[in-house]
Amino acid sequence: MLRFILSWLLASCLLVSPTLAPSPPFAMRISCGARENVHTPPTNTLWFKDFAYTGGVPFNATLPSYISPPLKTLRYFPLSSGPENCYNINRVRKGHYNVRIFFGLVLLNGFNTEPLFDISIEGTQIYSLKAGWNGHDDQTFTEALVFLSDGTASICFHSTGHGEPAILAIEILQVDDNAYYFGPHFGEGAILRTATRLSCGDGKSKFDEDYSGDRWGGDRFWKSATTLSQADSAISTESSIKLPSEAPNFYPEALYQKAIVSSDTQPELTYTMEVDPNRNYSIWLHFAEIDPAITIIGERVFNVLINGYIAFEDVDVIKMAGGSYTALVLNTTVAVDGRILTIALHPKGASHAIINAIEVFEIIVAESRTLLEEVRALQSLKGALGLPLRFGWNGDPCVPQQHPWSGADCQFDRTSNKWVIDGLDLDNQGLRGFLPNDISKLHHLQSINLSGNNIRGPIPSSLGTITSLEVLDLSYNFFNGSIPESLGQMTSLRRLNLNGNSLSGKVPATLGGRLLHRASFNFTDNAGLCGMPGLPACGAHLTAGAKIGIGFGVSVTFLLVVIFAMCWWKRRQNILRAKQLAARGAPYAKARTHIHDIQLARNTYGHSRTAAESGPSLLT
Ligand SMILES: *[C@@H]1O[C@H](CO)[C@@H](O)[C@H](O)[C@H]1NC(C)=O
Ligand SMILES: *[C@@H]1O[C@H](CO)[C@@H](O)[C@H](O)[C@H]1NC(C)=O
Ligand SMILES: *[C@@H]1O[C@H](CO)[C@@H](O)[C@H](O)[C@H]1NC(C)=O
Ligand SMILES: *[C@@H]1O[C@H](CO)[C@@H](O)[C@H](O)[C@H]1NC(C)=O
Ligand SMILES: *[C@@H]1O[C@H](CO)[C@@H](O)[C@H](O)[C@H]1NC(C)=O
Ligand SMILES: *[C@@H]1O[C@H](CO)[C@@H](O)[C@H](O)[C@H]1NC(C)=O
């Protein structure tokens, strides 16, 4: 069930301005739980309401941090509404996006409770909230760069059993298609989750917007850092910087007007952060020589080491940027197996190190989705079977792999490069309704167990087209009608349980044939199945028409037999009489007799007949 369908009519946003200026980046901001669209200061930013589009429960928000947009509502998703809940936002222009989700705190019994849950975008899990997140401003949201190509953005929240997912706001902000191009693995298959974004030497955290940054920047949040270690110091300049706001990343100029420089007491600059182990990280380092004391090439040279390995050697900012007050961006990708990421700048000779900003992204390989036809079939099943709310069944059935739909078994199909469903385990789940024909669109099913539910109606004959099916257990339901002939086509079937239903009629002979192949079938406890070993013979179950036909046939046969018997008896009597006459010397002693003969005999022997008064009178 796509419970939270947001059909945003964005015509107004997408209208091309009368001048043929390039269209501005697509931007959608959602204020979760809001009944009306909201405008927030200081820039009058528009946030769309999600009221009436979604499930979950709207609630008053307490803002977990000053970073959170000043919105008054949130939406939380009670565990009873299922483990996964999604926003499916339609009409999203194809492109590359910064998707940002702000978390909420749910006020329960006077206490703000901190829910922990997982977040996925387009089927790929991007983040797991960490305990204590509401104590760190920059952990009150998560964001990731993703490619959205199918016109929708599917953002799901997956319960982990620690409280009820609560969402304050969602932002979907278009960026340049090549933003943060990090090398050959960049593209639709790669998602970059922001691990940190540091503005060095700045005393106050800011969004791009506060920096009057370019709208194609994705309104990044820059956390302030006035120092990386005790001995360094912050410097800044009012001078303008060359080349900051260039495609594809459009950094704010102000980022380069502040920096941290190391000192004589500690010439190295070291930045350390905690990361999730065994991941790849994309690291972006920003430099601009803004120290008026350093003006020529060779005056400041340093190596950049990441977790002890040299990532960039002999970095000379003036040389590489092409001058002072000019932006230089370096990026590299590293695999981190431990929990610590250390970026260290080691100056050469007597020089000091300088750094303006640091960005660290976790590189996440985007998951393949489930075959669309199979997703639709499951959705149709969900509706027809009246799947209880607790199942959820929102988002993608198989991904994120950490949170597949319960009751659906997934397998990766190498030919289509998609996930497919190979098993349905929905036994004893209180399902009602009927089994839709669409179930046959789950072509890859090997096993179906719907035993012990309250499913009614016929067994869909389309089931027979799932040729890979090996196990079909529909026992203990209320299936009625006859077993479709098509089930005989399932050549892989080795287990068929139809016992405990209201089925009637003849079991298809083709199924009987399968028994020879060590298949095990159970047809007992039904309304009246016949025609298999262990079941009654089928004759007892004739249609009314057949009964009339047979009744008529029997009557006609009986009549014919009676008539035949009468004729035979008459003839036999004639023969006997003829024999008697012959015994008296009459000329008609032949066995052959017919009426004419006898009449003749009577006329001829009228008088003698009187004489034979005691003889039986055969003729009338
Ligand atoms: C939410 O806040 C409004 C006023 O801002 C108040 O009227 C309403 O009762 C609050 N709702 C809840 C569930 O606390
Ligand atoms: C990032 O680095 C790679 C090489 O490692 C380079 O090809 C790419 O152009 C760089 N990206 C940007 C935006 O500078
Ligand atoms: C990191 O990148 C390398 C090379 O692209 C890849 O082989 C490896 O699987 C990646 N590791 C993770 C955890 O994604
Ligand atoms: C289907 O589920 C029922 C009940 O959980 C179980 O007893 C039965 O063995 C399962 N059927 C098959 C074919 O595994
Ligand atoms: C099967 O049961 C449904 C009601 O559940 C009834 O409408 C239908 O006629 C029945 N079909 C047969 C073949 O008995
Ligand atoms: C078939 O199902 C009935 C109950 O409906 C059960 O008593 C019987 O043992 C089953 N037979 C086999 C061979 O499993």
Q: Which domains does the chain have, with CATH numbers?
A: 24-175 (2.60.120.430), 189-366 (2.60.120), 372-545 (3.80.10.10)
Ligand nearest to the CA of 191: 3
The whole-model pTM stands at 0.82
Distance 335 CA to ligand 3 centre (A): 7
How many angstroms separate the alpha carbon of residue 308 from the centre of ligand 2? Answer: 21
Whether residue 495 has its Cβ less than 6 Å from ligand 6 = no
* pLDDT at residue 266 is higher than 60: yes
**Residue 548 pLDDT class (50, 70, 90 cuts):** low
- Ligand 3 site, residue 372, Cβ cutoff 6 A: no
Average pLDDT of span 215-227: 95
Q: Which ligand is nearest to the CA of 423?
A: 4
- Mean per-residue pLDDT of the chain: 86
Q: What is the pLDDT of residues 338-353, one digit of tens each?
A: 999 999 999 998 899 9
Average pLDDT over residues 470-492: 94
- Residue 482 CA: which ligand is closest? 5
Mean pLDDT check: name the lowest of 22-31, 171-180, 404-413. Answer: 22-31
> Higher model confidence: residue 64 or residue 255?
255
Q: How far is the CA of 497 from the centre of ligand 6 (A)?
A: 9
Can you state the angle between helices 544-583 and 595-604, rounded to 10 degrees? 30
For residue 345, how many other CB atoms are within 10 A of its CB? 25
Please give the helix or strand (H or E) that residue 447 lies within, else none: strand 447-449
Residue 598 CA, ligand 3 centroid: distance in Å: 116
d(CA 93, CA 91): 6
Q: From the CA of 59, how far away is ligand 1's center (Å)?
A: 8
Helix (H) or strand (E) holding 546: helix 544-583
**Mean local confidence (pLDDT), 177-187:** 96
Q: How many CB atoms lie within 10 A of CB 491?
A: 11
Confidence at residue 172, expressed as pLDDT on a 0 to 100 scale: 97
Minimal-distance CA residue to ligand 6 atom 1: 522
Q: Which two tokens stand for residue 15?
A: 């209208």
Considering only 180-194, 495-509, 595-609, which range has the smallest mean pLDDT? 595-609
**Is the pLDDT assigned to residue 17 strictly greater than 60?**
no
Does the CB atom of residue 335 touch ligand 3 within 6 A? yes
The pLDDT score that the predictor gives to residue 53 is 72
Please tell me the predicted confidence (pLDDT) of residue 110.
Answer: 80
Model confidence at 552, in pLDDT bands (50, 70, 90)? low
Q: Which of 34-38, 266-270, 409-413, 587-591 has the lowest mean pLDDT?
A: 587-591
- pLDDT(138) > 70: yes
Among 159-163, 195-199, 424-428, the minimum mean pLDDT is found in: 159-163
Atom 14 of ligand 5: nearest residue by CA position: 481
Q: Indicate the pLDDT class of residue 489, thresholds 50, 70 and 90.
A: confident
Separation of 437 CA from ligand 4 center, angstroms? 22
Q: How far is the centre of ligand 1, averaged over its atoms, from the C-alpha of 36 (Å)?
A: 15
Alpha-carbon distance 100 to 142, whole Å? 6
Query: What is the average pLDDT across 390-411?
Result: 95
Long-range contacts of the stretch 458-461 (C-beta < 8 A, 24+): 458/434, 458/484, 459/435, 459/483, 459/484, 459/487, 459/498, 459/503, 460/435, 460/436, 460/484, 461/485, 461/486, 461/487
pLDDT score recorded for residue 553? 54
Q: Ligand 3 atom closest to Cα of 363? A: 14
Residue 569: pLDDT band (50, 70, 90) is low
Q: How far separated are the first and last CA of the chain, in Å rounded?
A: 91
Name all residues whose Cβ lies below 6 A of ligand 4: 427-428, 449, 451-452, 471, 473, 495, 497
d(CA 239, CA 258) in angstroms, rounded, equals 11
Which ligand is closest to the CA of 533, given by its number? Answer: 6
Q: What is the pLDDT of residue 619?
A: 31
Alpha-carbon span 420 to 396, nearest angstrom: 11
Q: Which one-letter DSSP state was computed for residue 277? A: S
Amino acid at 185: H
Ligand 1: centre distance to CA 87 (Å): 24
Residue range 132-159: mean pLDDT, rounded: 95
| pLDDT, position 583 | 46
Nearest atom of ligand 2 to the alpha carbon of 180:
13
Pick the more confident residue, 212 or 426: 426
* pLDDT beyond 60 at 596: no
**With a 6 A CB cut-off, is 279 part of the ligand 3 pocket?**
yes
Mutate-to-test residue for ligand 4 from 425, 426, 427, 498, highest number of ligand atoms within 8 A of CB: 427
- 574: which 2 tokens? 């004639």
Percent of the chain with pLDDT over 70: 83
Per-residue pLDDT band for 567 (boundaries 50, 70, 90) equals low
Angle, CA 191 vertex, CA 97 and CA 179 arms, to 5° = 50
d(CA 214, CA 243): 13
Pick the closest to residue 3 from 401, 426, 428, 391 (CA basis): 391
CA of 246 to the centre of ligand 2 (A): 14
**Nearest-ligand number for the alpha carbon of 182:** 2
φ, ψ (nearest 5 deg) of residue 410: -110, 155
443-473 pLDDT tens trace? 999 999 999 999 999 999 999 999 999 999 9
CA angle centred on 115, ends 111 and 116, rounded to 5°? 150
